[in-house]
Amino acid sequence: MENNSKTGERSFKEDRVRNIALMYYSLPEVKKALFDFSKNRESIPRYFEGFGKRPDAFQYDSDILEFVKKGATSFHCSQELWKDPLEISNELSRKEFDELRTGWDLLIDIDSPYLEYSKIYAEILVDTLRFHGIKNIGVKFSGSKGLHVIIPWKAFPKEIYNQKTKDMFPEWPRIICQYLGELIQPKLTEKILKDENLSQIAKKTGRKEQELMIRECINCKRQVTKKFLSNWLCSFCKNEITTTEGMYNNRRKPKCPECRKDLIKKSKEEIYSCEFCKTDSRKNPYLFEQKERVATEKLIDADLVLVAPRHLFRMPYSLHEKTALASVVIDKEEIKSFDIKKARPLNLQIKSFYPESKEEEAKELLLQALDWSEQNKRKEKINNSRINSNFSRFNFNDNKENIKPGDFKKTIIPNPSEEIFPPCIKLLLKGVKQDGRKRALFVLINFFKSLGLIDSELDKRIYEWNEKNYQPLKNGYIQSQLTWFKRNNSMLPPNCDKTHYKDLGVCHPDEFCRQIKNPVNYAVKKYYKRF
């Protein structure tokens, strides 16, 4: 029985949540949890169907109960932190917003019609964050079918690349979310298919198996489009015409451009097209020679809409209008075993959603996400000239006559010697004498992978390097890093103008360094100068 706005009758869902709201929000521990989390945030009540006025904030915990008495059913707040939330206005300029903002939390909204898939995604996400050195992570139930994961503002560096991190909202949080999404997607597919086959997934979700399978471009990992290439003949003037049609193109038969008579279809061929790479399976069959994968993004999504200026999310321990369940906090070790029965109001164990983070423990995550984003932009710029080789990934300023794209398929420099390495890489290979071993490992793996080093040689060089460190990294960690990078597309190491090399104390440029932007660029140019 849904809400009837014309008659003013309340729905079953509305009655259910209103019947419990006053009693629930009167609990001292619930009021305290809401109030403590609301500090320095824009905090807004929701009156079942609509939100209250904005901006607003709690001055005292008693404000919460006053809102409930006026009809509030839930409470929502910003992930941005403000000097004074009440000073927020849509009339403010970007600069004024930045001056008023003191920071932001990274809040990832995991949304799926199926709680089971949300939990799988959250488990992989937590593992991925730990992989990047982040241990203090908050997880909570959304109140319906999703989960929220938070990394507090304290975990992020206050400045990167001479830019204040607090001013880079929503750009940097969005980049982090996109970066994490790309890392998680293959693991999510693997995990879901480990527990269920495609037929079971289709039955559970009410979808056809064909709808859950998509084909990707090997080059850019984006979904490709299935099209039909048709050849036509004009029986009158003998003209031959080729057209490309989408799967659901029901256009009338094309006409001959000269005599305007209907054309006769001679043949029809199925092809795949990648709009991003501007190519298709006729021009580059190599890019499309792979199996289809499960379209897990149709089952679950990490919502980037939440990463937007002044966007609100449900506060921990707020009720949910559709389910009348509480947005309870979950121990990250207990995500898999979480049951919605634990979210029933009036019988809750209150926990903090906001962990006590260590200073800058998310720095590595932010740096790697920014480097990933920059390299994606670089790939887009050279997209039109990309061939089935790694050559087009590099920006050479000279010696172009010495380098032919056809010379490369999967390997650029088969077995690079140290004499072509830039000074920073040579110094890193001598071992790290201070903190920064994980960052150095990230640089070295990407450097060698970008040069096309075979996996066995890569393993050998990395393990030899690790033994030279002031304190070697655990072999298990090294192996996990190598395994991940072997499964995923390699990326260039950070450019020379990034802080990685200075922070590690290895940025000692020679004259040749002035001509290049990236350590890989240095090695490739040095290699071809020898011939």
**DSSP class per residue in 409-428:** SS-SSSS--GGGS-HHHHHH
- Check pLDDT > 50 for residue 339: yes
Give the predicted TM-score (pTM) of the model. Answer: 0.64
Q: Which of 314, 355, 309 is nearest to 43 (CA)?
A: 314
pLDDT: is 407 or 437 the higher one?
A: 437
Q: Cα torsion at 288, 291, 296, 297 (round to 10°)? A: 10
- The whole-number average pLDDT for the span 58-67 is 95
Q: Is residue 291 part of a domain?
A: no
Return the top range by mean pLDDT from 215-219, 408-412, 473-477: 473-477
- The rounded distance, in Å, linking the Cα atoms of 86 and 128 is 36
- How many CB atoms are located within 10 Å of the residue 258 CB? 10
Q: Which of 61, 143, 74, 71 is nearest to 325 (CA)?
A: 143
Q: Is residue 136 part of a domain?
A: yes
User: What are the angstrom distances between the C-alpha of 100 and each of 76, 82, 305, 387, 419?
Assistant: 20, 6, 22, 48, 52
The answer on 78 and 48 residing in a single domain is yes
Q: Where in the sequence is the domain holding 311, given as residue range(s)?
A: 12-191+301-343
The answer on 144 and 25 residing in a single domain is yes
Q: How many domains does the chain have?
A: 3
- Check pLDDT > 60 for residue 48: yes
Q: Is residue 16 part of a domain?
A: yes
The pLDDT value recorded for residue 123 is 95
The pLDDT value recorded for residue 4 is 44
- Check pLDDT > 60 for residue 393: no
- Check pLDDT > 70 for residue 305: no
| Cβ-Cβ contacts under 8 Å for 235 (sequence gap 6 or more) | 261, 264
B/e letters for 264-273, b = 16+ CB within 10 Å, e = fewer, are eeeeeeebbb
- The whole-number average pLDDT for the span 492-507 is 85
- The rounded distance, in Å, linking the Cα atoms of 501 and 353 is 36
- Check pLDDT > 60 for residue 291: no
The answer on 500 and 451 residing in a single domain is yes
The answer on 312 and 276 residing in a single domain is no
pLDDT: is 201 or 314 the higher one?
A: 314
Lookup: tokens for 58:
């709690």
- The whole-number average pLDDT for the span 109-138 is 93
Asked if the peptide bond before residue 28 counts as cis, ω within 30 degrees of 0, the response is no
- The whole-number average pLDDT for the span 32-40 is 97
Q: Is residue 21 part of a domain?
A: yes
Q: Looking at residue 336, which CATH number applies to its domain?
A: 3.90.920.10
- Check pLDDT > 50 for residue 410: no
Lookup: tokens for 287:
């890019």
Task: Kindly tell me the burial class for residue 398, based on how many C-beta atoms sit within 10 Å of its own C-beta (0-12, 13-18, 19 or more).
Answer: exposed
Q: Is residue 375 part of a domain?
A: no
The answer on 184 and 76 residing in a single domain is yes
Q: Starting at the edge strand that comes first in sequence, how are the strands of the sheet with 279-280 ordered? A: 240-246, 225-233, 264-274, 279-280
- The whole-number average pLDDT for the span 211-235 is 76
Q: Tell me the percentage of the chain whose pLDDT exceeds 70.
A: 82
The answer on 142 and 63 residing in a single domain is yes
Q: Is residue 85 part of a domain?
A: yes
Task: Kindly tell me the burial class for residue 79, based on how many C-beta atoms sit within 10 Å of its own C-beta (0-12, 13-18, 19 or more).
Answer: buried
Residue 408 pLDDT grade (very low, low, confident, very high; cuts 50, 70, 90): very low
- Check pLDDT > 80 for residue 416: yes
The answer on 34 and 143 residing in a single domain is yes
C-alpha 329: how far from its chain's center?
23
The answer on 389 and 275 residing in a single domain is no
The pLDDT value recorded for residue 530 is 59
Angle at 130 between CA 125 and CA 132, to 5 degrees: 100
Contact at 8 Å (CB) between 3 and 11? Answer: yes
Q: What is the DSSP string of 273-322?
A: EETTTTEETTT-GGGG-S--EE-GGGT-EEESTTSSTT-EEEPTT-B-TT
Angle at 443 between CA 168 and CA 129, to 5 degrees: 55
The answer on 306 and 268 residing in a single domain is no
Q: Is residue 361 part of a domain?
A: no
- The whole-number average pLDDT for the span 52-65 is 94
The pLDDT value recorded for residue 370 is 92
Q: Is residue 473 part of a domain?
A: yes
pLDDT: is 351 or 114 the higher one?
A: 351
- Check pLDDT > 50 for residue 307: yes
- Check pLDDT > 70 for residue 388: no
The answer on 309 and 447 residing in a single domain is no
> Hey, what amino acid is at 29?
E
End-to-end CA distance of the chain: 80
Contact at 8 Å (CB) between 315 and 76? Answer: yes
- The whole-number average pLDDT for the span 169-187 is 90
- Final residue belonging to a domain, choices 251, 282, 313: 282
HSE-up (13 A, CA, CB side) for residue 64:
29
The answer on 173 and 28 residing in a single domain is yes
The pLDDT value recorded for residue 3 is 47
- The whole-number average pLDDT for the span 218-245 is 76
Tokens 């609301």 correspond to 38
Q: Which of 168, 149, 155 is nearest to 80 (CA)?
A: 168
- The whole-number average pLDDT for the span 399-415 is 43
pLDDT: is 282 or 289 the higher one?
A: 282
The pLDDT value recorded for residue 294 is 61
Residue 153 pLDDT grade (very low, low, confident, very high; cuts 50, 70, 90): very high
- The whole-number average pLDDT for the span 404-415 is 46
The pLDDT value recorded for residue 289 is 59
Residue 25 pLDDT grade (very low, low, confident, very high; cuts 50, 70, 90): very high
Residue 389 pLDDT grade (very low, low, confident, very high; cuts 50, 70, 90): very low
The answer on 475 and 422 residing in a single domain is yes
- The whole-number average pLDDT for the span 482-494 is 75
Phi then psi for 227, rounded to 5 degrees?
A: -135, 175
pLDDT: is 207 or 68 the higher one?
A: 68
The pLDDT value recorded for residue 70 is 95
